[in-house]
Chain A
Amino acid sequence: MDVTWDDLVGSALLGTERRRPPGVVGDAEEAAAGLLDAAAAGVVRRRAGLRPGIAGQRPKPAPADRRPPLPEAARRRLAMLLADRTGDGARGGRRGAAPNLTELLPQWLGAARAEGYAAPPELLPALLDAARARTDLRPDALALAGPRGLWLAGLNPDWKFALRAGPAGAAPGTAGGEDPETARRLWEEGLFAERVALLTRMRLAEPAAALELLDSTWRGERAEDRLMFLDSLRTGLGPADEPFLEEALSDRSRNVRATAAELLSALPGSALAGRMAARARACVRLGPDGITVEAPHACDAEMERDGVARKPPSGRGERAWWLGQLVDAAPLSAWPEHFGGRSPEQIIALPVPDDWQADLHAAWCRAAVRQRDPQWARALLGPPPAASAPVAAVGDPAKLLAILPVDERAEWVAEFIGTHGLSEAFQMLGVCAVPWAGRLGRAVIDALDMARDVGSYPWSFSGVMGLAERCLDPAVAEQVALLSATAEDAPDGAPGATAYWSEAFQRLTSTLRLRRLMLAELRPGSPG
């Protein structure tokens, strides 16, 4: 037949009244019927005669992943956790006694990563979607996704974040050991995000090489980029970085200068730290009535170059502002000698006349946090305040606690909760190691039990409850289960509170049981 499909489409488009296909006779009506007949034959011929096309470009195969696959039960669990993430919105607000799976996903990912499993390929898209929506999931999710995940992310612009993920996202085996040639090319030609990732990655393995790379192009970078690059030096910061940072103190950008000064002050042996110590010592002396403070009278150019901001935030006196900055940048190790060989505890116990105590101690707290000095942190925290004492502590107790060793942290917080209850404890609990140590867990459960007995509503404690679901050792599930038995309402308590408490404890129990099960699934060999 000489009539082509295109001829048929042509006349169909214009209508047989205007154009009739070759070989079709009759009036417009008959021609239309003829056209339909011809097209019917044509379409079947067209479809039946389909031939394969020419293959496009084939993707480079993903690198092999030698990590073991998940046990079957764990694989199903992950599928369920990932599916629940999307289903959450539809179910509405109140959860009743059902566990909150969304909050279990981070923990599952962390545990599975620690066991060294590879995520099952068919779940990678859902895993990457989850990591895309929640940045806190990314390090563990990407580590589990491994080389296959990275390969897949390279195909879909939605998952671009995986390519620029930091060191934690890199699969085991690819972190460190950067090929110098490739690294240099990436550094010189890469996108900003790739360059930051590269720098951060290299800082973990070979900080000096990373610094060298940064130094090679430093002067040509834009100010915003310089700031970000400088920030990535926090990883692997060491004395070797000092000359570079010292130079950055004269940078054109104020933010770069301030960051450089902050990094230098975290290096107790640096020249800047020495200069700050000298300034601070001139202001803070041992006097007859304790510590005499003579705040600086001016902020000179040298001080400014060392990162002291001249203008205080509104509401603060400028001299106190300057003093604070000098003290928090000075190395803490210099003080005991300055105060006649006293220990940090003794220094903090010294009276500080003229209302300077709060400023001085707050500055030391910042210094302890910045220099990660557990001895000073312990001294500044002191023992947990007694029941009658005001809870308000110097500085931010949670930040200081974070510097203490794990066990000590848990002990301190447990004791604090024992005397003060839960209302101030949320942030402190947030810095405690997961799962909570035995004594800490008991303290939290007891405090919750007590709160119920007084008759308050459980949602006043929803923050702590949420933390407990995630952080309590799953081994205490049965202990909590005992609490969920319904009891009488407290005589002077809020009406109906007991029922809500019982539901809250049930949820806590079921979440803990689920966590226990979920962790056991990841170690099928060992008894759960």
Chain B
Amino acid sequence: MWGSCKGSGSRPYQTAVDLAGPAFRCTCPSRKFPCKHALGLLLLWAEGESGPITADTEPDWVEQWTAARRKKAEEAAAKEPKAAAGPADPDAARKRAERRAVRVEGGAAELEQRLTDLLRGGLAGADRAGYQQWDEVAARMVDAQAPGLASRVRELGALPATGGDWPSRMLEETALLHLLARGFLGRERLPGPLAETVRTRIGFTVDTAEVLAGPTVRGQWLVLAQYDTADDRLTTRRIWLHDEGAGRFALLLSFGAAGRAPELALAVGTVMDAELAYHPAALPLRAALGPRHDIGRPVRIPAGTATGQALAAYGSALADDPWLDAFPVLLGPVVPLPGPDRWQLADAHSDDAIPVAGMGPSAALWRLAAVSGGHPLTVFGELGPTGIRPLTAWTDGSPEPIAL
């Protein structure tokens, strides 16, 4: 997309935006990036004004730019395998990894001791002790370079305050932590993919380039949902993709510093002909986005399953990854049933229903109810132990998904 903008200079600025990046180029001297001319161009595009930005006849300077970008990307792609093949000093890297493994083992063992102590003394006092002691344990896990353990421990501290049947939930979470810690300590004896799942849950990360260097799957990926969660240090963006032909889901994660939007942004409803590489895991869901070849619009509503089938699928997924708390499901046709505290999604043709996660209706749930109007829908959501979190809906008439 390109345009020229009459600025204060003698010649109009030449501005171009590559929407796939997004990437920007402008001949203006502004040091802001993207500059206001590129933003203006984007705004015009967002308004749907087709005036100056038809792509039919790209002037030379736009073609030069896109060609240069393409070349750079190819060069980068050519360099990547080398980078992935070996860091500067493989020996040092291996030593670092070993040192970290030892520290995490220490952390896991310490956590095991804490959990055993907790159950010796009983959970009954845990609601009085507050989350302070758990924050302390979480800090120890951060020191041990096991951020995945740390965040689970921190959530444990908040549990007693949620009221209701908290001892049961507390035991569930402690047991899963125990399972994770034991899993890591005994990782040598686990099958490869499960060991990878355990490592990921503990908080080991895999380099995206390394993942992409492995096998990729090409497919027609429909962007199902995109949403951000933020804590005080980090904004995490989750993007769910679905390839209906292959019946595959994929989760892209993208991170930004606190208060800033993560880099990757994909519009819900876009269909990408793209290559993905799954992170190694017993239940491959998380993926890295590889080359994109084409984008289009959806032509039909994805097929949904009944609630019973969705729960069964979640059950078998738990066998691969017991710590799974967001399993992608497409339900349909279902009707949202508002309730005074818990909402439900009910099969249109049977009496079965799944509870909606979370207490009290959120803005997304009201949108879901509004879109449904009491009629059946197809719904995409994340299924977890307490119910489903609806993220996207399709009404009968249109293949365009409605983000909730």
List residues of A whose CB falls within 8 A of some B CB. 5, 8-9, 11-18, 28-29, 31-33, 35-37, 39-40, 42-44, 46-62, 72-73, 76, 121-125, 148, 151-152, 155-156, 517
Would you call A40 and B370 a contact (CB within 8 A)? Answer: no
**Please, which residues of chain B bring their CB within 8 A of the CB of A125?**
363, 366-367, 370
A32 to B314, CA, bound (A): 29
Of B119, B311, B335, B337, most buried by chain A (CB within 10 Å of CB) is B119
Whether B172 and A28, one on each chain, are in contact in the complex, defined by CB atoms closer than 8 angstroms, is no
| Contact between chains at B171 and A8 (CB < 8 Å) | yes
Q: Are A122 and B402 in contact (CB under 8 A)?
A: yes
26 A-B pairs in the complex with CB atoms less than 8 angstroms apart: A12-B119, A14-B124, A15-B119, A15-B122, A32-B115, A32-B116, A32-B119, A37-B178, A39-B171, A40-B175, A43-B172, A43-B176, A48-B315, A52-B311, A53-B353, A54-B352, A59-B337, A60-B374, A62-B375, A73-B48, A122-B371, A122-B402, A124-B367, A125-B370, A148-B370, A152-B373
Contact B122 A12 (CB under 8 A): yes
Q: Complex formed: what's the CA distance from A218 to B361 in Å?
A: 42
A12-B374 contact, Cβ under 8 Å, with A48-B318, A54-B351: no
Residues of A close to B172: CB separation below 8 A: 39, 43, 46
Cross-chain contact A52 with B369 (CB below 8 angstroms): no
When the two chains form their complex, are residues B369 and A36 in contact, meaning their CB atoms are under 8 A apart? no
Alpha-carbon distance A125/B373, docked complex (angstroms): 12
One of B120, B182, B367 near A28 (C-beta < 8 A): B120
Count of inter-chain pairs, beta carbons less than 8 A: 167
Chain B residues, Cβ within 8 Å of A156: 338, 361, 366
User: Which residues of chain A are near B373, meaning CB under 8 Å?
Assistant: 61-62, 121, 148, 151-152
Q: Are B314 and A35 within 8 A (Cβ)?
A: no
B residues near A123, Cβ cutoff 8 Å: 370
Q: How far is the CA of A321 from the CA of B210 in the complex (A)?
A: 91
Q: Does B51 contact A (CB under 8 A)?
A: no
Segment touching A, from B95-103, B136-144, B229-237, B339-347: B339-347
Chain B residue numbers with a CB within 8 Å of A46 are 172
B121 within 8 A of A: yes
Most chain A CB neighbours (cut-off 10 Å) among B335, B338, B355, B402: B338
Chain A nearest CB from B106 CB (Å) reads 18
A53 touches B354 (CB 8 A): yes
Are A9 and B171 closer than 8 Å at their CB atoms?
Answer: yes
Taking a contact as CB atoms under 8 Å apart, the answer to whether A13 and B322 are in contact is no
For residue B352, give the distance in angstroms from its CB to the closest CB of chain A.
Answer: 4
A337–B170 CA distance with the chains assembled, in angstroms: 91
Contact residues in B for A54 (Cβ distance below 8 Å): 351-353
Nearest-neighbor residue (CB-CB) of B322 within chain A: A44
Q: How far is the CB of A91 from chain B (nearest CB, A)?
A: 16
Q: Which of B47, B117, B122: most chain A CB closer than 10 A?
A: B122
Which residues does chain B contribute within 8 Å of A18, judged by CB atoms?
122
Given the known inter-chain contacts A32-B116, A51-B308, please indicate yes or no for A15 contacting B121, CB distance below 8 A: yes
Give the Cβ gap from A18 to chain B, nearest Cβ, in Å: 7
- Residue-wise interface mask of B (211-224) relative to A, using a CB-CB cutoff of 8 A (1 in contact, 0 not): 00000000000000
Q: Which residues does B use to contact A, with CB under 8 Å?
A: 47-48, 115-124, 167-168, 170-172, 174-176, 178-179, 182, 307-308, 311, 314-316, 318-319, 322, 335, 337-339, 344, 346-347, 351-355, 361, 363, 366-367, 369-371, 373-375, 385, 395, 402, 404
A32 to B404, CA, bound (A): 44
| Least CB separation from A158: chain B residue | B366
A44 to chain B: closest residue by CB: B322
Smallest Cβ-Cβ distance to A151: which chain B residue: B373
Which residues on the B side are within 8 Å of A36 (C-beta)? Answer: 115-116, 119, 174-175, 178
Least CB distance, B133 to chain A, in whole angstroms: 16
A76 vs chain B, min Cβ distance (A): 8
Partner of B385, one of A17, A35, A47, A58: A47
Other A-B pairs, 13, CB within 8 Å; known A13-B123, A47-B322: A12-B174, A14-B122, A28-B120, A36-B174, A39-B171, A40-B179, A48-B314, A50-B315, A52-B307, A59-B374, A122-B404, A148-B373, A151-B374
In angstroms, Cα B121 to Cα A35, docked, is 13
Assess whether B124 is in contact with A58, with CB atoms less than 8 Å apart. no
Distance in Å from the Cβ of A92 to the closest Cβ of chain B?
17
Compute how far the CA of A28 lies from the CA of B118 in the bound complex, rounded to whole angstroms. 11
B174 engages A39 (CB within 8 Å) = yes
Partner of B347, one of A8, A50, A55: A55
Contacts of B374 in A (CB 8 A): 58-62, 151
Which residues of chain A have C-beta atoms less than 8 A from B174's C-beta?
Answer: 12, 36, 39
- Minimum distance in angstroms from A364 CB to a CB of chain B: 52
The 7 closest A-B pairs by CB, nearest first: A15-B122, A39-B175, A61-B374, A52-B352, A55-B346, A48-B315, A62-B373
Minimum CB distance partner of A147 in chain B: B373
Question: Within the complex, which residue of A31, A52, A76, A152 is in contact with B308, where a contact is CB–CB below 8 Å?
Answer: A52
Contact A9 B344 (CB under 8 A): no
Query: Which of A29, A48, A76, A122 is B116 in contact with, Cβ under 8 Å?
Result: A29
- Tell whether, in the assembled complex, residue A47 and residue B171 are in contact, meaning their CB atoms are under 8 Å apart: no
- Complex Cα distance, B341 from A56, in Å, reads 12
Neighbour of A152 across the interface among B176, B319, B370, CB < 8 A: B370
**Bound-state Cα–Cα, A151 to B318, Å:** 39
CA gap between A12 and B115 in the complex, in Å: 11
Chain A hits for B402, CB < 8 A: 122
Please measure, in the bound complex, the distance between the C-alpha atom of A224 and the C-alpha atom of B308, giving whole angstroms.
Answer: 56
- The answer, among A12, A48, A53, A58, for a CB contact under 8 Å with B123, is A12
Contact A9 B370 (CB under 8 A): no
Instruction: Look across to chain A and name the residue whose beta carbon is closest to the beta carbon of B385.
Output: A47
Q: A13-B124, A155-B338 are in contact. Are A48 and B316 (CB under 8 A)?
A: yes
CB–CB A17/B121 < 8 A: yes
- Give Cα distance in the complex from A48 to B317, angstroms: 8
Chain B residues closer than 8 Å to A39, beta-carbon distance: 171-172, 174-175, 178
User: In the complex, what residues of A have CB within 8 A of residue B123's CB?
Assistant: 12-13, 15
Partner among A16, A32, A37, A152 whose Cβ is within 8 Å of the Cβ of B369: A152
**Assembly CA distance A73 to B118 (angstroms):** 58
Are A61's CB and B370's CB within 8 A? no
Asked if residues A29 and B120 are in contact (CB atoms below 8 Å), the reply is yes
Nearest CB of B to A32, in Å: 4
Considering the chains assembled together, what is the distance between the CA atoms of A52 and B309 in angstroms?
9
Which chain A residues border B347 with CB–CB below 8 Å?
Answer: 52, 55
Cα(A85)–Cα(B175), bound, Å: 46
A40 in contact with B120 given A51-B308, A53-B353, A55-B353 (CB within 8 Å) = no
Give the residues in chain A near B318, CB-CB below 8 Å. Answer: 44, 47-48
Q: Do A43 and B175 have beta carbons less than 8 Å apart?
A: yes
Most chain B beta-carbon contacts within 10 A, residue among A31, A39, A151: A39
Among A14, A50, A123, A124, chain B packs the most CB atoms within 10 A around the CB of A50
Contacts of A72 in B (CB 8 A): 48
Name the CB-closest residue of A to B398: A69
User: In the bound complex, how far is the Cα of B112 from the Cα of A40, in angstroms?
Assistant: 13
B318 nearest CB across to chain A (Å) = 4
Residue of B nearest to A28 (CB): B120
Closest A-chain residue to B375, C-beta based?
Answer: A61
Chain A: minimal CB distance from B172 (Å): 4
User: Which B residue sits closest to A119, measured CB to CB?
Assistant: B370
A155-B122 in contact given A8-B171, A54-B353, A72-B48 (Cβ < 8 Å):
no
Interchain CA distance A59-B355 in the complex, whole Å = 16
Inter-chain contacts of B48 with A (CB < 8 A): 72-73, 76
| Residue among A42, A43, A46 with the highest chain B CB neighbour number at 10 A | A43
